Structure formats: C-alpha cells, structure tokens
Structure 1
Amino acid sequence: MRSYKPTLVQTRRFMSHFGVSPTQCSQLWILLKVPENGRFKHLLWALLKLKVYATEEVLSGMAGCDEKTFRKWSDQFITALALLSTRLIKWNSRTKSGIHTFSVDGTDCPINEPSPFSPKWYSHKFRSAGLRYEIAVSLFDSEMIWINGPFPCGEFPDSKIFRRNLAGQLSKGEKGIADQGYRSISQLTIKNRGHQKGKLILIGKALARHENVNQRIKRFGCLRQQFRHELKRHVYYFRAVASVVQLRLKTDNPINSLPK
C-alpha cells in the first residue's frame, strides 16, 4: 500500500483549521488518555473548537453532527488535552546558580465581563475583562517549563503571580529574565540601560523568544477571542492549547535556544 503524503498547501489548510499538522495530530492521539469510546475524529473536533472557536452551530455543521454530540466529544477531548499538559510541561530549569535559566511572562486572555462588575478582572492590554496566566520558557531548550493560572487580570499583576508560586521553585542564586512588569523582583533580571551590551543582547533575545511562544498560544481562537463558555472551563482550554503548542515546540517547529 502506498503511503500518502499531503502537499504543503493541504498541510497549511489542515493547520489553519486544527492548529497542528497531520503528523502532530497523530502524535497527540498516541499521547492522549483517550476518553472511553472516543474516536480520532473527536480529537479533530476538539482541535477545531480550540483553533477556530466559532459557534457550536457552525462547528457542528462542519463536523457533520448535531450540537449536543459535538459539544460532548469536543469537551471530553479538550479535557484530555488539558490533562496531557501536566505530562508535557514540567518544571525543569536545569538549575545553575548565577546563570539565567528561564524567561517568564504573563499572557492575558479576554473573557465576557463577569456579573456583577468588578475592576479585579480588568486587563490593561485589551481594556476589558480577562484572565492572566504565567508562562516560563527554558533558555536552553525549546519548551515551556511552567504554566500557572488563571488569575483575574486586575487583581494579579505579573509580579504578584510570580511571588505566589514560581519564586518558591527557584534554587538559591538561580535567575530568570523578565520584562519591566517584574522590576521589583530580585530573582529576575530586567532589561535596562545599565547592562553591558552582551547582557542586553541576551535579555532581548530571551524576551523575543518568549513573545514568540505567547504569539503561538494566541493563534488559537479560544484564547484570542472573548471566551463564551463557563469561566471554570477556561483553564482546560488554555492547558489544552498549551499541550498542542508544547508538542510543536519540541518537534517540528522549535524556537532557537540561547547559548549555554
């Protein structure tokens, strides 16, 4: 039997709908703890929901089923993808005292304004309600090594989230790289004019790599558009997307590592 290899155009179209290539989709299927009676097409439904995030009337029409069936299986597989993130994303900073081992930043995701209104949800990035997640990226490898959240954007600035959990994971003398939102934290190096040229270049590259990861996450409509489902489900959508992005970072679409 002849093996089938999709063309570049077919692969690009597939990725525009599902956020991964056909090969990565097969890898996800192998890695997943598949829900009982789940089928491969149900994984595609979940990826379609994460990437396109149209209404369920539209998505179920694309999938060729009714809304109830689409909702049942897409939600089950989104949960399975979210659980996969605990296996794919683990704290691994290659601890080296005095050496920068990771970059950290927060990313905001828009949500519908909760009722009653509260300023604790306000995100200055898009001037409406949002949830914030903390992401740490290894400087030595193409991978995320920490995700934390969600937190109400207005109530939890980046520095407060860092102190809450990640600060306690660092070994004595271990350093990270971050932007100006973390300027009050001694465990992190912030870009400023007082640094030597070589260090400025290192910090700039680290922050650029991190922004690349944030952009990959926001390519998924469920995190770029206002979230329309139950707020308690948002973390599952975020972690499901994180699993997909992590797989791509570690396989066919890595980011450049910094010199060790």
Structure 2
Amino acid sequence: MYSFRGQCDEEGNGLNTATTNREPGSGEGSPHHAPRQQTFLMPPWEEPRAASLSQVQRLDTSIMTSQDILAYGLMYVGFGRERQNVCEKTSVDRFKAHYGPDPWTVKDLMTDLINEFPSTCFKELLMGLNWLKLYDVEAVLAGRWGYSEVTCREKCRATVRHIQSFKEKMIRFDPSLFRSEETHIISVDCVNFITEEFRLNPSTEYFDHKSHSCGLKYQFAISIWRDHCVSINGPYPAGKYHDKALFCGAETMDESSDRWDRSALYFQIPDGKKAIGDSAYEGAPEKVTVKREGHPPNVFEFLDRAQNRQESYHSRLENYNILTHRFRHGKSTQDKMNLHKMAVEAVAVIVEYDMRYHPLFEVF
C-alpha cells in the first residue's frame, strides 16, 4: 500500500518524516544480515514529463520501502516506468551506478537521517548521493535535478554534511569492541586522493608520489574481526608525512617519542594488542605486525588476507568518483581541505551502512 501526501514544490519541500527514534547505524538488518530476496513491484505512479521531474509525488517515509526508493531513484535519472520493466539485478545495478549503495542501504541511511534531521528531503538525499558517486559538474546536476547550479551546490553540500555528521558515532576507536582473545585487532594503511593544486599555498608537501600530482593523505583503520572502520585520520598533505609517522603522531620518525601526539592510533591500541600493516610500518613491533620472511605459512596467509581486506575497503571508497577524480572545490587551502574531508567522511559513513549487507571478506 502506498500513501501519497501531496507534491513537493520546486525546492523539494513537503517530505513527511518518520517517528522512530534510533541511533545512526541502527537501520534494517543486523551487521551480517543479507538483504531479503524480493521482487521490486512498480508503485502506482503517474510518470511525469521530463520538464516536471521536480514535481514528483513523494511517498510517506514512514512506510517508504526499498522498492519505492529503487523505483523513484531510477526515475530521477531517466529510467521511467517502461524502462524499469527489467529483471531486479539490472534495476539495482542501474541504481548503484548512479547513487553508490543499493536501495536497502539507502533506506537505512534515509531513516536515520530523517530521525536526526527531520527536514531531510528524499530528492535532495538522492541528489547528494548522485553527486558523491558520479561527481558531475553543477551544470549537469542542474539539468538532471531541476534546480539552479547554486541551489544544487548548496543542497548537495548540506546533505553530505548531514551524512558526515554520523561519522563521530559510527566510526570511532572503542577498545571495548574487541574480544580479550584477539591479539591483532585492526589493520591500518594510508590512502592518497588527488586534488587540484593549492594555488594559494603552493608547496611540494602536497606532491603525491603515487599519482605524481597534488593530493591529500588519510589513514584508515579497519577492525579485523568485524566489518567496521574504527578510525579515519586526515587530511594531510600527501607528501609531508610518512605513513608510520601518522600512525605514531610524529612529524618525522627522527622526532623523539616524547613529542608524539598522544591521540594518535599508536597510543589508542591497548597494551598486548596489535595492528597489521604493510612494510611502511616496519620498526614498531610492539604495536604493528608486518609480513616477514620466515613467518609460518598460516601466519603469512592471515596477514596477507588482513591486508587484502584493507585494500577491499579502500576500493569501496574509491568506487565514488568524488574521491578518484581530481577534487576541484574550495576557495582557500583550509576550505578545500575541509570540503574534501567532508566528502571522505560522508563516503566512509555510506560504506559503513553498506557493509551490513556486503561484508568485506569471508570470515577468517
């Protein structure tokens, strides 16, 4: 049964809110709950003309399902009712190609957003996801979503900031999450993302040796035994800090340990516990285990799988064009870094929701 509550105006107002009270990350399904196999039935809509996409009727979000999200999401990007008469997999693949996550992940995210931010609009959420996924220029967004370029920019950033705000609750290092029998609790690695030049602050510190261009560096830590990111540290100029220096909270590894930042990941790992890292983290055996010649085959395989799992997480981040294309926003150095951090943390939150249905790796 579908319940319509009128039409949204050109600015997308009029979305009714759900009445549940939940913490971010408490949506449909448990962390290891697979999506139900379901047939996506078409809702009884009146398909709008292309010129009136901004006037699409909205479902009451208290009963809005992943089926509704799939159908209306595809309609917004040009797949009308007749073009949705295909198998479920094709429809979901088309949805993911434009928005990133699948419809049931968006359902969980939307429910938590509406609970936290009652003014959340379904259309604006989809537009923000579309911006993160495809990173189109504002003129393209304006044509697709029916707003002006300035309005698209404002609404996309507002939506993405709302998603980013869940990072503090969902992505945090909590030693109580790890079992006492676990010795290796996290894997850690750094990722560089390319950006446009910092023209108001030109410096070789931003040089990324991997892409041979300008970039920013982030450090990610992933729980080994759960599908959960526990720490994001950044952004930093891509060429200024070594991976191990970020892990230890140092400017350089020549710096005395007395001057290391005590909030760094090195000091958050409890005594007796360890991370798994690549060769860049060599030299801190009390906190990080790296692969070495002479390890027994089973140990080598375990370390290798943990690092591959970390790379799998990175690939999910890089599935969003805003992180793989050259980041172009920001009027000043700090503004550019703040906006890039907004994008990275928002994508990480979306991936966190998505890992409930799509684990990073098979169980060890």
Q: What is the TM-score normalised by the length of structure 1?
A: 0.93
What's the CA shift for 1:29? 1.1
Question: 2-side partners of 1:117 and 1:70: how far apart?
Answer: 30
Greater RCO (CA < 8 Å, at least 6 residues apart)? 1
Q: Which amino acid aligns with 2:346?
A: A
Aligned: 1:15 with 2:121: no
Q: Which residue of 2 aligns with 1:226?
A: 326
Q: Which amino acid aligns with 1:174?
A: K
Question: 2-side partners of 1:49 and 1:118: how far apart?
Answer: 29
Report 1:79-90 matches (<5 A): 79-90=161-172
Question: 2-side partners of 1:56 and 1:36: how far apart?
Answer: 26
How far does the alpha carbon of each residue in 1:142-179 deviate from its partner, in whole angstroms, 9 at most, with x for none? 11111111111111111111011101101112111001
Question: 1-side partners of 2:210 and 2:141: how far apart?
Answer: 29
Aligned: 1:143 with 2:225: no
Aligned: 1:253 with 2:335: no
Asked whether the 8 Å contact 1:18–1:44 carries over to 2, the reply is yes
Say if 1:15 and 1:119 are closer, same or farther in 2 by CA, change over 3 A: same
Three-state SS of the structure 2 residue aligned to 1:156 is coil
Q: Which has the higher helix share?
A: 1
Question: 2-side partners of 1:257 and 1:86: how far apart?
Answer: 27
What's the CA shift for 1:36? 6.4
Say if 1:30 and 1:234 are closer, same or farther in 2 by CA, change over 3 A: same
Question: 2-side partners of 1:258 and 1:138: how far apart?
Answer: 12
Q: Which amino acid aligns with 2:329?
A: H
Q: Which residue of 2 aligns with 1:128?
A: 213
Higher alpha-carbon Rg: 2
Q: What is the TM-score normalised by the length of structure 2?
A: 0.68
Stretch deviating more after TM superposition (170-179 or 89-98): 89-98
Q: Which residue of 2 aligns with 1:43?
A: 125
Q: Which amino acid aligns with 2:265?
A: L
Aligned: 1:109 with 2:193: yes
Query: For 1:171, which of 266, 270, 278 is the aligned residue?
Result: 270
Gapped regions of structure 2 (runs ≥ 5) = 3-39, 42-66, 71-87, 250-263, 331-335
Asked whether the 8 Å contact 2:113–2:120 carries over to 1, the reply is no
Aligned CA-pair RMSD: 1.8
Query: For 1:63, which of 137, 145, 152 is the aligned residue?
Result: 145
Number of residue pairs aligned between Structure 1 and Structure 2: 258
What's the CA shift for 1:35? 4.8
Report 1:206-221 matches (<5 A): 206-221=306-321
Question: 1-side partners of 2:274 and 2:362: how far apart?
Answer: 17
Aligned: 1:235 with 2:341: yes
Say if 1:201 and 1:159 are closer, same or farther in 2 by CA, change over 3 A: same
Q: Which amino acid aligns with 2:210?
A: K
Question: 2-side partners of 1:243 and 1:103: how far apart?
Answer: 18
Question: 1-side partners of 2:360 and 2:146: how far apart?
Answer: 37
What's the CA shift for 1:184? 2.2
